[in-house]
Amino acid sequence: MSRYEQAKAELEVALVGAPKPTKPVQLRLVAEPVRYAAITVMQPYAWLLAHAGEWPEHVPGKTIENRSRRTNYRGPVLIHVSRRWERVELRLEELRRLGLVGGACPEPTLEEMRSQLGLVIAVAELSHCRQIGDRDPHPWGIAGSWGWEVADAALVEPFGLSGNTGLWYAPPNISVRRLAAWLELGGLPAGAGLRVDPATGRVSTRVATLVEAARVVLQSGISSFAHVVELGGERLAAGELLARAAEEHGEVDTAARLRSCASARRVVGAGRAGGVDRGSHEVACGGERG
């Protein structure tokens, strides 16, 4: 467990007994433009990558994407479906013969796959890259190719993009849709009343305290103390927001450990550089800095 994850876990334990809101106010998270990595994959392989987690235990799902070149990138990646439709039925027939689709395994329909051409259908984690050998046990690997290992694929509401070869980067304006999908995938409950404005990327819910603000931030998928947020017009690191929440709950030692672990850099933007407006907490989630 990283120091960040350990500190977050400690804070979550400390906040278990925190009082519930009594005077709800607005909490907002805003996505700043961020470019996300993507890979364009032909059918049926794009569908198979996106649904890899649905395979039975005795048959591995497609978590290997075979490429001619290696990649050093590690992190989130969008699964984009190529517009090309070539030999799809023949590929499916071969996969059936190998026992990798059909029977106990899922199998896509031609209609569904055609409807996905040119769309982003999932987000996953590109976790590793290795050269596939002649005796590689993974049934989806092709000997001699570079296997890009794609883990934890999760479906998103499909949206169109123009694809590219190799690893490429999507335009910044898709961050709104990604934020909406990841808030849901990250475990924020539908009952929390989250609303996403697709025009601005603003996600809002009702909270009353810094503790409640911290809970939302902890659940929103932020993976670094350096992630910049906005609180009451003040720009600061996520680690500082979590430390302030701990202080509000009386956990002074926890707050000190959070700050020490984070070494969070405070960034002051427009608005107050000083105290926090307790009447209205606005949190804007941007990209990681540094």
pLDDT in 10s for each residue of the chain, 290 residues? 555 566 666 666 666 655 554 444 444 544 444 567 899 999 999 999 999 999 998 999 999 999 999 999 998 899 999 999 999 999 999 999 999 999 899 999 999 999 999 999 998 999 999 999 988 889 999 999 999 999 999 888 888 888 899 999 887 655 545 555 544 444 444 434 555 555 555 555 555 677 777 777 776 655 566 666 666 666 677 778 788 888 877 777 878 877 776 653 333 222 222 223 333 344 443 333 33
Q: For residues 46 and 153, state if they share a domain.
A: yes
Q: For residues 58 and 14, state if they share a domain.
A: no
What are the CA-CA distances from residue 240 to residues 227, 229, 259 (Å)? Answer: 10, 9, 7
Q: For residues 149 and 215, state if they share a domain.
A: no
Q: Distance between CA atoms of 96 and 107, rounded to whole angstroms?
A: 9
Residue where a domain terminates, one of 155, 170, 185: 170
- The answer to the question of residue 279 being in a domain is no
Half-sphere exposure of 155 (CA within 13 A, CB side): 9
Q: For residues 186 and 71, state if they share a domain.
A: no
What are the CA-CA distances from residue 186 to residues 49, 217, 218, 281 (Å)? Answer: 20, 11, 10, 22
Tally of domains within the chain: 2
Name the DSSP class of 174.
G
Entry pTM: 0.55
Residue 44: name the closest of 116, 129, 105 by CA. 116
Please name every residue paired with 154 in a beta bridge, in sequence order, or none if there are none.
Answer: 123
Cβ–Cβ < 8 Å for 141, 132: yes
